[in-house]
């Protein structure tokens, strides 16, 4: 999400970054470009207007501070405004002192409420809770059936009774109390914000079960209408937060800005894929940084800590620093990296990755092939790829079920990669990393 | 703690290098010669006994009309147009309002500017400062966005005809299929639905309910089965039983997932093979969709070669301008509009009726 917006801002900023001073006309034209970038990212026209106005005001106000160049003023103002609009801290759930904690899910049709409900249930399970899913979408054909299947996948029981959604929601919360579940997640039917009858119904559900948290589920691909429907849902239900879905697409996600702006409630969770685990808390400040091209290093580090084997990672680091990174290490590290999820997702969190690579169509299947080829090599071959001659190639290709050409290509690419890493300063210890080496008590030869 | 930084550094380099290899490898296509024997895991097609399609259970009510469809969309334009037509002079304020109204209907920056520039030229040429001239110019500009094309749904002369319904998740594919089945049934066609969404939980159950509602037959398989085989089996059944039409439901997929788009290519090939006659590949677009809709349209057109657009959820407060942008860019017409969740809430699209409903000033209310 937001990648495209990030690229656009980067373009705009690059152009002005070098400038000593900006004329009023230049500021105007920059703001115009920012306006277009935001509108094309689906930020609501009205929201864009006030956004641009505020950036303009703060640029004028900041003019006196000499430590920043005019361009930096603009960048700083945009950053500040984005952070403000996206909203500061992430959601911290306060559980009801008398369980269950009741969560109500609402939204338009087709936004992904049912899936999000199941994902949220799994998330609560990972927090050590025992959720119950309640299917109160009695309108869409087979919606409850869908929830039941997802409930099995999430390892969470599902409750529903035919007939009246209000009654179902109420008996669901009673059922939770009875069987000792401490969180209840109520899935409701999709409804249009202009459908008075159905909005009354969901209000009635809310009044009946008094949820601790009410989330509006919003599709990341939504356009200008986001503000209208979000406003009505907020007036009807007093929302606590937003769950943004389908972030694994390439929508520019401006609706997130708009909705945050009009309902004044933060984005609490984001849903990023078809697997139930593709769901997490949303960290607003990190997202603002990401839009401004700094990468989401914090998220990346957290994810790394969760999934990586520290020893293997550290060994790889040492080898890299020593300039001794061979195919064996590469295989080992690749398997680690794979654990972090789809490469593309991880990649998008990295700062400073060239656009061509970031946008490359990455097929995860290629990884499997690379793995197969390296696995078919002997230890000696992995340590010293130069020894791989024609006949070894044939053997390796056969072992990996591929062609000698493919093996050759991989070897060539690995060489290129080593060169690239050397040019990135990983060929030998750099001044800043020397202390770490010394601490390890090892001396490494430069290559 | 140094480990954190070390991990971060290793990751950055490793990721960059891994990606480097993979991205490059991808460009050159490491080809695997190993035959991946695709086994059709589950062959058992579970299906209820077909209802006699002759006795359609559905009574088709008169089509919901366009005016109701664009009920909410009109109010924004109507306000603007009444200002114009009330003889107010064309000033900057009016142009700004026009721009905002167009942008708010998700028409996009580019088309909005195009409409406005065109209208400006017309107003200048007419040497007029009269709002009425502007209103007429805007209408003309909007009208010229639509392609000049037949908007009827195609049937093949030789049965069975196949229609493939595609789109991203949750846009209203399955619901639109239910409505289409009713429409075709009311026309005396014998219809079978292909439950080729074998991915989403309970998707086939959902389609089955629509089959029951509309008296259509249905072919379904087990969760996770190969969608192409479901389409194939539906075509076989249609041919064997002399049905006129196969409507294939497909799993919602984001156009960014290349493996799923490849699956769609394969589905299309299956739907084209004898004895089937694929005449429509309909892309369903949700009226609430923003600028991403244009990318969806592009990508689905690339993968499946779409023949028409279905604009759903126009009964909401969203204006669906993105469908217009998609129609214009791809040259593929909007053929149908969804205006609710009931079986009759589907209208055949006509640009003129649409504009009439959208821009008409007087109201009976
Ligand atoms: N108000 C309104 N709701 C609609 C319309 N068309 C579909 N819906 C609703 O939108 C939701 C999603 O519709 P589906 O038909 O399940 O969408 P789909 O594209 O098949 O979804 P997936 O198969 O999950 O990708 C359902 O709640 C439908 O009732 C419409 O024209 N108007
Ligand atoms: Mg469906």
User: Ligand 2 centre and the CA of B341: distance in Å?
Assistant: 13
Sign (positive/negative) of CA torsion A70, A76, A77, A78? Answer: positive
Quick check: helix, strand or coil at residue B312? strand
Tens-digit pLDDT profile for residues A108-138:
999 999 999 999 999 999 999 999 999 999 9
- pLDDT score of B89 more than 50: yes
Sign (positive/negative) of CA torsion A117, A119, A123, A126? Answer: positive
Cis peptide before B160 (omega within 30 of 0): yes
Q: Number of helices and strands (H, E) in chain A?
A: 21, 8
Tens-digit pLDDT profile for residues A370-419:
888 998 999 899 988 889 988 999 999 999 888 898 888 888 877 877 77
Residues A116 and A255 in one domain: yes
- pLDDT score of A348 more than 50: yes
pLDDT band at B50 (very low <50, low <70, confident <90, very high): very low
Q: Which two tokens stand for residue A27?
A: 């500021």
Segment A249-277 shows an average pLDDT of: 87
d(CA B99, CA B102): 5
Classify burial at A345, counting beta carbons within 10 Å of its beta carbon; exposed 0-12, middle 13-18, buried 19 or more.
middle
Is residue B348 within 8 Å of residue B57, measured between CB atoms? no
What pLDDT, on a 0 to 100 scale, did the predictor assign at position B212?
Answer: 96
User: Is the distance from the beta carbon of residue B338 to the nearest atom of ligand 1 less than 6 Å?
Assistant: yes
What pLDDT, on a 0 to 100 scale, did the predictor assign at position B219?
Answer: 97
d(CA B96, CA A272): 37
What pLDDT, on a 0 to 100 scale, did the predictor assign at position B36?
Answer: 21
What pLDDT, on a 0 to 100 scale, did the predictor assign at position B145?
Answer: 93
Is residue A259 within 8 Å of residue A230, measured between CB atoms? yes
Residues A143 and A278 in one domain: yes
- Count CA within 13 A, CB hemisphere, residue A243: 27
| Chain A 300-359, residues with CB within 8 Å of chain B CB atoms | 300-301, 304-305, 308, 310, 313-314, 316-317, 320, 330, 333-334, 336-337, 343, 346-347, 350, 353, 357
User: Is the distance from the beta carbon of residue B203 to the nearest atom of ligand 1 less than 6 Å?
Assistant: yes
d(CA A247, CA A270): 7
User: Is the distance from the beta carbon of residue B196 to the nearest atom of ligand 1 less than 6 Å?
Assistant: no
- pLDDT score of B54 more than 60: no
What pLDDT, on a 0 to 100 scale, did the predictor assign at position B113?
Answer: 95
Distances (CA, A) of B204 to A189, B47, B208, B218, B238: 19, 11, 6, 9, 18
What pLDDT, on a 0 to 100 scale, did the predictor assign at position A309?
Answer: 73
pLDDT band at A196 (very low <50, low <70, confident <90, very high): very high
In this structure, the residue with its CA closest to atom 8 of ligand 1 is: B172
pLDDT band at A260 (very low <50, low <70, confident <90, very high): confident
- Give B30's contacts in chain A (Cβ within 8 Å): 366, 369-370, 402, 406, 409-410
What pLDDT, on a 0 to 100 scale, did the predictor assign at position B63?
Answer: 42
Residues A361 and A427 in one domain: yes
pLDDT band at A444 (very low <50, low <70, confident <90, very high): very low
DSSP state of A227: H
- pLDDT score of B41 more than 90: no
- pLDDT score of A157 more than 50: yes
Q: Pick the residue with more confidence: A68 or B192?
A: B192
What pLDDT, on a 0 to 100 scale, did the predictor assign at position A253?
Answer: 80
Q: Are strands A158-159 and A213-219 parallel, antiparallel or unpaired?
A: unpaired
- Between chain A and chain B, how many beta carbons pairs sit less than 8 Å apart? 262
What pLDDT, on a 0 to 100 scale, did the predictor assign at position A331?
Answer: 83
Residues A172 and A274 in one domain: yes
Nearest to A142 by CA among B175, B249, B234, B343: B175
Residues A149 and A279 in one domain: yes
Total number of domains in chain A:
3
What pLDDT, on a 0 to 100 scale, did the predictor assign at position B204?
Answer: 96
Highest mean pLDDT among A286-290, B102-106, B261-265: B261-265
Classify burial at A64, counting beta carbons within 10 Å of its beta carbon; exposed 0-12, middle 13-18, buried 19 or more.
exposed
Q: Is residue A94 part of a domain?
A: no
Closest to B256 (Cβ–Cβ): which among A250, A304, A333?
Answer: A250
- pLDDT score of B189 more than 80: yes
pLDDT band at A251 (very low <50, low <70, confident <90, very high): confident
Q: Which two tokens stand for residue B240?
A: 């064997």
- Give B33's contacts in chain A (Cβ within 8 Å): 401-403
Is residue A279 within 8 Å of residue A120, measured between CB atoms? yes
* Helices marked H in B43-172: 66-69, 71-85, 92-104, 109-125, 131-143
% chain A with pLDDT above 70: 76
Is residue A147 within 8 Å of residue A135, measured between CB atoms? yes
Residues A115 and A247 in one domain: yes
State which fold the B152-312 domain adopts. Rossmann fold (3.40.50)
Q: Which two tokens stand for residue B185?
A: 């049934």
Segment A207-233 shows an average pLDDT of: 95
- pLDDT score of A97 more than 60: yes
Residues A348 and A233 in one domain: no
Q: Is residue A441 part of a domain?
A: no
In this complex, do A370 and B26 lie within 8 Å of one another by their Cβ atoms?
no
What pLDDT, on a 0 to 100 scale, did the predictor assign at position A274?
Answer: 85
pLDDT band at B127 (very low <50, low <70, confident <90, very high): confident
d(CA A285, CA A282): 9
Nearest to B332 by CA among B299, B308, B302, B311: B308
E strand or H helix at B42, and its extent? Answer: none
Q: Which ligand is nearest to the CA of B313?
A: 1
Is residue A386 within 8 Å of residue A329, measured between CB atoms? no
d(CA B348, CA A47): 35
Task: State the architecture of B64-143 in CATH terms.
Answer: Up-down Bundle (1.20)
User: Is the distance from the beta carbon of residue A384 to the nearest atom of ligand 1 less than 6 Å?
Assistant: no
User: Is the distance from the beta carbon of residue A109 to the nearest atom of ligand 1 less than 6 Å?
Assistant: yes
- Give B7's contacts in chain A (Cβ within 8 Å): 301, 304-305, 308, 310, 313-314, 317
pTM for the predicted model, two decimal places: 0.75
Nearest to B192 by CA among B253, B234, B144: B234
Q: Are strands A279-281 and A267-271 parallel, antiparallel or unpaired?
A: antiparallel
What pLDDT, on a 0 to 100 scale, did the predictor assign at position A296?
Answer: 55
Quick check: helix, strand or coil at residue A163? coil
d(CA B135, CA B85): 7
- pLDDT score of B307 more than 50: yes
Segment A39-68 shows an average pLDDT of: 76
User: Ligand 2 centre and the CA of B167: distance in Å?
Assistant: 9
List, as one string, the DSSP characters of A284-323: HHHHHHHHTT---HHHHHHHHHHHS-HHHHHHHHHHHHTT
Q: Is residue A299 part of a domain?
A: no
pLDDT band at A432 (very low <50, low <70, confident <90, very high): very low
What pLDDT, on a 0 to 100 scale, did the predictor assign at position B46?
Answer: 22
Q: Which two tokens stand for residue A110?
A: 């087709």
Q: Which of A260, A294, A328 is the last residue of a domain?
A: A294
Mean model confidence pLDDT for chain A = 81
Cis peptide before A100 (omega within 30 of 0): yes
Quick check: helix, strand or coil at residue B332? coil
Provide the CA A64 distance to its chain's centre, in angstroms: 37
Q: Which two tokens stand for residue A366?
A: 């290629």
Q: Buried (b) or exposed (e) across A348-368, using 16+ Cβ within 10 A?
A: bbbeebeeebbbbebbeebbe
Other CB atoms within 10 A of residue A237 CB: 20
Residues A43 and A118 in one domain: no
Backbone phi and psi for residue B192, each to the nearest 5 degrees, phi listed first: -125, 135
pLDDT band at A350 (very low <50, low <70, confident <90, very high): low
What pLDDT, on a 0 to 100 scale, did the predictor assign at position A55?
Answer: 81
Distances (CA, A) of B292 to A222, A384, B285: 8, 48, 10
Radius of gyration of the CA atoms of chain B, in A: 24
What pLDDT, on a 0 to 100 scale, did the predictor assign at position A69?
Answer: 60
Segment A7-17 shows an average pLDDT of: 75
Instruction: Give the position of tokens 């001044």.
Output: A431
- pLDDT score of B338 more than 50: yes
Domain span holding position A230 = 101-294
Quick check: helix, strand or coil at residue A134? strand
Residue in chain A lying closest to B4 (CA) = A301
What pLDDT, on a 0 to 100 scale, did the predictor assign at position B358?
Answer: 75
Domain range summary for chain B, segments of one domain joined by +:
64-143, 152-312
Segment B162-166 shows an average pLDDT of: 98
Residue in chain B lying closest to A226 (CA) = B288
Q: Are strands A279-281 and B161-166 parallel, antiparallel or unpaired?
A: unpaired
Cβ neighbours for B236, distance < 8 A, ≥ 6 positions apart = none
Quick check: helix, strand or coil at residue A194? coil
d(CA B238, CA B337): 27
Lowest-confidence range among A89-98, B78-87, B207-216, B291-300? Answer: B78-87
CA dihedral A45, A47, A48, A50 (to 10 degrees): 130
Residues A186 and A249 in one domain: yes
Q: Pick the residue with more confidence: B15 or B217?
A: B217
What pLDDT, on a 0 to 100 scale, did the predictor assign at position A429?
Answer: 37
Residues A78 and A142 in one domain: no
- pLDDT score of A58 more than 80: no
Distances (CA, A) of A340 to A334, A335, A346, A358, B119: 10, 9, 7, 17, 53
Lowest-confidence range among A442-446, B251-255, B297-301? Answer: A442-446
Residue in chain A lying closest to B11 (CA) = A337
pLDDT band at A256 (very low <50, low <70, confident <90, very high): confident
Nearest to A307 by CA among B6, B22, B11, B12: B11
Provide ipTM, 2 decimals: 0.80
d(CA A325, CA B16): 14
In this structure, the residue with its CA closest to atom 7 of ligand 1 is: B172
Question: CATH no. for residue A63?
Answer: 1.20.120.140
What pLDDT, on a 0 to 100 scale, did the predictor assign at position A440?
Answer: 40
In this structure, the residue with its CA closest to atom 13 of ligand 1 is: B172
d(CA A366, CA B14): 16
Is residue A38 within 8 Å of residue A2, measured between CB atoms? no
pLDDT band at A303 (very low <50, low <70, confident <90, very high): low
In this complex, do B318 and A252 lie within 8 Å of one another by their Cβ atoms?
no
Tens-digit pLDDT profile for residues B248-284:
999 999 999 999 999 999 999 999 998 999 999 999 9
Q: Are strands A267-271 and A158-159 parallel, antiparallel or unpaired?
A: unpaired
Other CB atoms within 10 A of residue B55 CB: 7
Residues A411 and A346 in one domain: yes
d(CA B104, CA B278): 36
Q: Is residue A92 part of a domain?
A: no
% chain B with pLDDT above 90: 60
Backbone phi and psi for residue B217, each to the nearest 5 degrees, phi listed first: -80, 165
Question: CATH no. for residue A320?
Answer: 1.10.260.30
pLDDT band at B40 (very low <50, low <70, confident <90, very high): very low
Q: Is residue A438 part of a domain?
A: no
Residues A324 and A417 in one domain: yes
Q: Pick the residue with more confidence: B29 or B149?
A: B149
């Amino acid at each position: 999400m937001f990648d495209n917006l990030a690229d656009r801002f980067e373009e705009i900023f690059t152009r002005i970054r070098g400038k000593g001073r900006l004329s009023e006309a230049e500021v105007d034209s920059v703001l115009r470009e920012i306006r277009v970038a935001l509108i094309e990212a689906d930020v609501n026209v009205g929201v864009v207007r006030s956004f641009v106005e505020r950036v303009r005001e703060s640029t004028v106000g900041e003019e006196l501070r000499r430590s920043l160049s005019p361009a930096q003023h603009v960048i700083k103002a945009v950053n500040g405004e984005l952070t403000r609009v996206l909203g500061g801290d992430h959601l911290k759930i306060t559980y009801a002192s008398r369980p269950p904690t009741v969560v109500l899910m609402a939204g338009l049709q087709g936004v992904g409420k049912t899936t999000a409900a199941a994902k949220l249930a799994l998330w609560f399970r990972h927090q050590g809770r025992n959720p119950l899913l309640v299917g109160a979408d009695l309108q869409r054909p087979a919606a409850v059936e869908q929830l039941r299947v997802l409930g099995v996948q999430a390892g969470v029981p599902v409750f529903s009774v035919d007939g009246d959604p209000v009654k179902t929601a109420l008996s669901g919360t009673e059922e939770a109390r009875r069987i000792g579940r401490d969180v209840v997640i109520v899935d409701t039917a999709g409804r249009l914000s202009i459908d008075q009858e159905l909005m009354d119904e969901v209000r009635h559900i809310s009044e009946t079960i008094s949820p601790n948290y009410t989330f509006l589920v919003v599709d990341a691909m939504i356009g200008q209408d986001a503000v209208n429907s979000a406003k009505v849902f907020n007036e009807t239900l007093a929302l606590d937060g937003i769950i943004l879905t389908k972030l694994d697409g390439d929508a520019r996600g401006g609706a997130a800005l708009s909705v945050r702006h009009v309902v004044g409630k933060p984005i609490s969770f984001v849903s990023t894929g078809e697997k139930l685990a593709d769901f997490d808390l949303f960290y607003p400040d990190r997202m603002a940084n990401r839009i401004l091209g700094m990468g989401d290093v914090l998220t990346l580090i957290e994810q790394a800590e969760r999934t990586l084997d520290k020893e293997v990672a550290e060994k790889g680091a040492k080898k890299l620093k020593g300039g001794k990174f061979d195919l064996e290490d590469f295989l080992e590290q690749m398997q680690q990296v794979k654990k972090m999820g789809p490469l593309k997702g991880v990649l998008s969190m990295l700062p400073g990755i060239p656009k061509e690579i970031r946008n490359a169509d990455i097929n995860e299947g290629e990884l499997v092939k690379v793995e197969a080829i390296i696995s078919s090599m002997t230890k000696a071959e992995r340590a010293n790829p130069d020894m791989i001659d024609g006949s070894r190639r044939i053997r390796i290709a056969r072992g990996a079920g591929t062609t000698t050409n493919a093996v050759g290509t991989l070897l060539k690419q690995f060489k290129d990669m080593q060169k690239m890493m050397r040019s990135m300063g990983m060929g030998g210890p750099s001044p800043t990393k020397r202390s770490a080496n010394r601490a390890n008590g090892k001396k490494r030869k430069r290559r | 703690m140094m480990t954190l930084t070390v991990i971060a550094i290793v990751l950055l380099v490793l990721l960059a290098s891994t990606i480097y290899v993979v991205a490059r490898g991808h460009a050159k296509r490491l080809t695997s010669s190993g035959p991946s024997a695709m086994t059709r895991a589950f062959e058992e097609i579970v299906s209820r006994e077909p209802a006699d399609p002759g006795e359609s259970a559905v009574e088709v009510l008169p089509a919901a009309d366009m005016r109701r469809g664009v009920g909410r969309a009109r109010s924004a334009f109507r306000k603007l147009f009444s200002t114009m037509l009330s003889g107010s002079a064309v000033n900057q304020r009016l142009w700004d309002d026009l721009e905002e109204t167009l942008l708010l209907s998700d028409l996009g920056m580019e088309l909005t500017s195009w409409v406005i520039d065109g209208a400006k030229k017309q107003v200048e040429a007419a040497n007029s400062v009269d709002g009425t001239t502007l209103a007429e110019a805007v209408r003309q500009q909007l009208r010229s966005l639509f392609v000049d094309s037949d908007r009827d749904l195609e049937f093949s002369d030789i049965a069975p005809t196949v229609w493939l319904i595609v789109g991203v998740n949750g846009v209203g594919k399955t619901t639109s299929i239910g409505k289409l089945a009713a429409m075709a049934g009311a026309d005396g066609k014998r219809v079978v639905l292909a439950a080729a969404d074998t991915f989403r939980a309970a998707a086939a159950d959902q389609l089955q309910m629509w089959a029951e509602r509309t008296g259509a037959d249905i072919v379904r398989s087990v969760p996770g089965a190969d969608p192409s085989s479901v389409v194939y089996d539906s075509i076989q059944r249609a041919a064997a039983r002399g049905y006129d039409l196969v409507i294939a439901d497909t799993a919602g997929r984001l156009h960014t997932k290349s493996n799923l788009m490849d699956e769609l290519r394969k589905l299309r090939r299956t739907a084209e093979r004898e004895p089937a006659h694929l005449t429509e590949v309909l892309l369903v677009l949700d009226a609430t969709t923003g600028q991403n809709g244009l990318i969806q349209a592009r990508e689905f057109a690339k993968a499946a070669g779409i023949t028409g657009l279905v604009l759903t959820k126009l009964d909401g407060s969203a204006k669906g301008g993105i469908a217009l942008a998609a129609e214009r860019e791809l040259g593929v017409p909007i053929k149908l509009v969804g205006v609710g969740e009931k079986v009759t809430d589907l209208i055949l699209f006509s640009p003129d009726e649409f504009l009439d409903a959208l821009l008409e000033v007087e109201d009976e209310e």
